[in-house]
Amino acid sequence: MNDFFKLKEHNTTVRTEVIAGITTFVTMAYILVVNPIYLAEAGMDFNAVFMATCISAAIGTLIMGLYAKLPFAQAPGMGLNAFFAYTVVLTLGYTWEAALAAVFISGLFFILLTVTGFRETIVEAIPNSLKHAIGAGIGLFIAFIGFQNSGIVVDSPATLITLGDFTQPTVLLAVIGLVITAVLMSRKVRGGLLLGIIITTLIGIPMGVTDTTWNAFSLNIMPTFGKALNPGFSDLLSMGGGFVAVASSIFVVVLSFVLVDMFDTIGTLIGTGAKAGMLDENGKLPNMNKALMADAVATAAGALLGTSTVTTYVESAAGVSEGGKTGLTAVTTGILFLLAIFLAPFALMVPGQATAPALIIVGVLMMTTIKNINFDDFEESLPAFFTLAIMAFTYSISNGIGAGLIFYPITKLAAGKPKEIHPLVYFLAIIFVLKLAFLPR
């Protein structure tokens, strides 16, 4: 194991990597029930989507661990599943089978982009200041997810967001968990994040927050398996309006899946890699192309199994913060996704209020990359600020990267420094402007 994953070279141990993998899984286990709920709105079978979620997450995460040898986990992406159900199916009128076909096409397109090296070229073109901003932005984003999941922050018709009701048992449990996790981290307890999640889950039982009800799941994936191919493709091509209308509609939907997934994945890899100290002096992540290939293959496989786009998960930062540095972390998480098929009630027992403190703490840890941004240099600081702020405020890694890439050439050209702009940045900036103007959200 040491030879394969190079544990000593990365100054880590099997115990550290396994704990990191468990932490990542527990932190993102909510997707096992949330993803089926979202896709069921589009008319898909809940239990079949649950199976597809577990298997596709395991496939992507195991490829990430065994092939790319990086500590990142994958699963059907939040936001992308909502876009799939509420925009593509319920608003644009696609059948869910046709939507799966569109996801499958985007997966094949990802594979092509990765084989040609274009996706890695995009990563290299992103300025270092934006790469550091992506890490900090993910910190704000993941902390916001934690505050939201805990109920500490709730929506408000007057101010968009406000403080939640601290008299509610759910919010109180999250606060207790946050205090426990903060104490463990302050005392530098190994596995502090995971231990905090476990203790908070147990405290939630007498409080009535942790659900100990045993819910049976049907292990039948056939209602969604292969439906992307048949009738998915025929549904996709038989939409009314003529060839041009159908082709343009398919192009818009596929492009939407491609752009969001590509930049969500790139952002997570760069941001979390920066936090783990994995980036080299040029801001490049080792085995980046292999990591992108894992994402591409998992997306195509997930569509065939019956779920929306699979992407690299921002919650991987929880495992990295526990010391995960190699593919063994991802392998551990991937195995747990497979076991979750048979132990679903245990996997889903952990309430969001128990994992929320870990996400908030990870957000704090991720913010350390902000110190590498020169805020005294306005043409660097403005795009960087927009990257991290838009990422958190619009609930989208892709939106944040887009904002940074749009404003970076603007500020550099205004400062008379066109040579500092990679030619590909102009192209990406135009793509994001067109995305904002024409693509559905």
- pTM greater than 0.85: no
- Over residues 46-75, the pLDDT tens digits come to 899 999 999 999 999 999 999 999 999 999
Residue 104 CA to residue 418 CA, distance in Å, equals 39
Residue 59 CA to residue 74 CA, distance in Å, equals 8
Tokens of 430: 């135009």
* Pairing relationship of beta strands 74-76 and 310-312 according to DSSP bridges: antiparallel
Q: Which helix (H) or strand (E) holds 247?
A: helix 242-275
Residue 182 CA to residue 10 CA, distance in Å, equals 26
What pLDDT is recorded for position 138? 83
- The answer to whether 165 and 151 are in contact (CB under 8 A) is yes
- The answer to whether 61 and 334 are in contact (CB under 8 A) is yes
Residues sharing a CB contact under 8 Å with residue 440, sequence separation 6 or more, in sequence order: 83, 87, 88, 91, 92, 252, 253, 256
Q: What are phi and psi of 262, to 5 degrees?
A: -60, -45
Residues sharing a CB contact under 8 Å with residue 131, sequence separation 6 or more, in sequence order: 270, 271, 274, 279, 283
Q: What is the chain's alpha carbon radius of gyration, rounded to the nearest angstrom?
A: 21
Residues sharing a CB contact under 8 Å with residue 342, sequence separation 6 or more, in sequence order: 219
What pLDDT is recorded for position 214? 67
- The number of residues in the chain equals 441
* Cβ-count burial 157-188 (b if 16+ within 10 Å, e if not): eeeeeeebeeeeebbbbbbbbbebbbebbeee
Amino acid at 256: S
What pLDDT is recorded for position 268? 86
| Per-position pLDDT tens, the chain of length 441 | 888 999 999 899 999 999 999 999 998 988 888 898 889 989 999 899 999 999 999 999 999 999 999 999 999 988 788 889 988 898 888 999 999 999 999 999 999 999 998 888 888 888 989 988 988 888 898 899 899 989 999 999 999 999 999 999 999 999 999 999 999 989 988 788 889 999 999 999 999 999 887 666 678 899 999 999 999 999 888 876 666 667 777 887 888 788 878 888 888 888 888 877 787 777 778 898 999 999 999 999 999 999 999 999 988 988 998 999 999 999 999 999 999 988 777 767 888 899 899 889 988 888 888 888 999 999 999 999 999 999 999 988 888 999 999 999 999 999 999 999 999 999 999 989 988 888 776
3-state class of 411 per DSSP? helix
Residue 237 CA to residue 310 CA, distance in Å, equals 24
